[in-house]
Amino acid sequence: MSNVSGLSPGGASPSNPLVHTLLGAGRRTPRKVAIYSAAGEMTFGRLEELSAQLAHALVEDYGVARGARVAVHEAASANVLALNVACARVGALFVPLNTAYTDREVLELLDDCEPVLLVREAALATSVARATLGELVDAARDRPGVFGDEVTDESTPAAMLFTSGTTGRPKGAVLTQGNLVFGCVTLTREWAIDADDVLVHVLPLFHVHGLFVAAYCALASGASLRLLGGFDVDRVIEALPASTVLMGVPTHFTRLLGDERFDAAVTASMRLFVSGSAPMLVSTHEEFFARTGHRILERYGMTETGMITSNPLRGERRVGTVGTALPGVAVRVEGPSPGVVQVRGPNVFAGYWKRPDLTETEFTPDGYFITGDVGVLDADGYLEIVGREKDLIITGGLNVYPKELELIIDAFPGVLESAVVGVPDADFGEAVTAVVVAHPDAHLDVDDLRERARAAMAPFKVPKRFVVVPALARNTMGKVQKSEIRRDLATRPPR
């Protein structure tokens, strides 16, 4: 686990490492605005006070204790962040749920994580105690603004995030205080985030990227957070001239580039653009630099590990890679290159909730977590993610890695982006199939695409079928959903 002893003056270990990390910087500047949002401004002092009041309400009104789960199905807000800190103060697990989940999906996850409390606006047919966020804040209003934080250590579970992984069944990844503190402290150092920064926040708070990277880095460094509650081009362009950092997913950056107002003048005060959660096209990198003079920093992480690698703040940001291993994190590629990416370090989660079978099968005997991503490490330690192990296509007994083909197809005239998948085939086992999206002003001819592919690829790699679609299926964090693409292809007549 992480060594957090250096976070306290004199080297003394804090009694609650996560609370110390999230509130420590703000305690030095209590009157400074921590969070700007549509609901108003929240200072660091008010954030600490509200988190204490909420901690009292959790304990006294709902019986939340150390180790209990608090499920939160709410849109991003300053009060959600305060509730997250309150859970840390109690020693409870914060369990954020994707706001896009249906009632059925929420009920399934509640049955799995067995929370003491569900924080959600709409009623739900469940025996779990429920309160709206507004009700919880109202209940906390008259409680003391100080709270005796639960004494915890690095191994104390702090959060549970659900991930489908390769099995399809949601799994609760349990992250400890040590995991979260290590990630937060490491990233603020690596990216030089400090109290002078203003971070534009457009990501959901139910995801590692939005909560444990963007929000935590801002709070821990004493920076201010502009919480926009989602991505909107107009609001982002309005916020950028008075900000210094933006963290997003590739879709956010392509949408900004699609607006003629987005230029070097708008980004003059910015010092850092970070992209993750999905691969970014080389063309997006190039256009972004040409338009703004800024080079986007790509990094790589997972729900189970937080951040694993990052391109450098100062130094060569290699387009097409996700950088090198973060300090204290070990990364290796197992087997012939490209191989499966494995990682070990204080960032790696404690295990899956009530799934010891998976904990055993998804770790190597020497303690590395098997990510399921396929990658290549170059001589300088830069990691390139080729794709997911489950997305490997075996056609006629030969291995085809989709990303290799996607990079080639994306460079064809008129192609905006592509996704390559394998579909069942009686002769080849799997048939290589390419789904492509055209530039808005382009028309794609599948016969022309096929001829270009034949000129650029070995015969066994050439897609047997090209399908032109308006857009690729993506999840809320911008990741292409190849399982949905395969299902859609199964309903389309062959051509």
Q: What pLDDT digit, counting tens, does each position of 69-126 carry? A: 999 999 999 999 999 999 999 999 999 998 888 898 899 999 999 999 999 999 999 9
Q: Which two tokens stand for residue 59?
A: 């304990």
- Residue 79 within any structural domain of the chain: yes
Q: Give the CATH number for residue 154.
A: 3.40.50.12780
- Residue 286 within any structural domain of the chain: no
User: For 292-303, what is the mean pLDDT?
Assistant: 96
Per-residue model confidence (pLDDT) at position 165: 47
Per-residue model confidence (pLDDT) at position 13: 63
Q: Could you tell me which residues are beta bridge partners of residue 383?
A: 377
- Residue 297 within any structural domain of the chain: no
For 329-339, the pLDDT digits (tens) are 999 999 887 89
Q: What is the DSSP letter of 244?
A: S
> Residue 12: pLDDT above 60?
no
- Residue 367 within any structural domain of the chain: no
- Residue 29 within any structural domain of the chain: yes
Per-residue model confidence (pLDDT) at position 168: 52
- Residue 54 within any structural domain of the chain: yes
For 353-409, the pLDDT digits (tens) are 998 888 778 999 999 999 989 899 999 999 998 877 777 788 876 778 788 889 899
> Residue 202: pLDDT above 90?
yes
Per-residue model confidence (pLDDT) at position 114: 96
Per-residue model confidence (pLDDT) at position 493: 65
Strands of 93-96's sheet in order across: 129-131, 117-120, 69-73, 93-96, 157-163, 171-176, 351-352
- CA angle 261-267-271, nearest 5°? 160
Last residue of a domain, one of 163, 190, 217: 190
Q: Give the CATH number for residue 475.
A: 3.30.300.30
Per-residue model confidence (pLDDT) at position 313: 97
SS3 label, residue 30: coil
169 falls in which pLDDT band (50, 70, 90)? Answer: low
- Residue 40 within any structural domain of the chain: yes
- Mean model confidence pLDDT for the chain: 91
Q: Which two tokens stand for residue 256?
A: 């900004």
Per-residue model confidence (pLDDT) at position 495: 57
User: Which residue would you say has higher pLDDT here, 486 or 205?
Assistant: 205
For 204-236, the pLDDT digits (tens) are 999 999 999 999 999 999 999 999 999 999 999
Last residue of a domain, one of 129, 160, 190: 190
Last residue of a domain, one of 151, 174, 190: 190
Its domain, for residue 178, covers: 5-190
463 falls in which pLDDT band (50, 70, 90)? Answer: very high
- Residue 289 within any structural domain of the chain: no
> Residue 166: pLDDT above 60?
no
Per-residue model confidence (pLDDT) at position 494: 61
For 407-452, the pLDDT digits (tens) are 899 999 999 999 999 888 767 778 899 999 999 989 999 999 999 9
Side-chain-side CA neighbours of 303 within 13 Å: the count stands at 21
Buried b (16+ CB within 10 A) or exposed e, 251-284: bbbbebbeeeebeeebbeebebbbbbbebbbebb
Per-residue model confidence (pLDDT) at position 458: 80
Work out the percent of the chain whose per-residue pLDDT is above 70: 95
Per-residue model confidence (pLDDT) at position 336: 80
- The total of structural domains in the chain comes to 2
10 falls in which pLDDT band (50, 70, 90)? Answer: very low
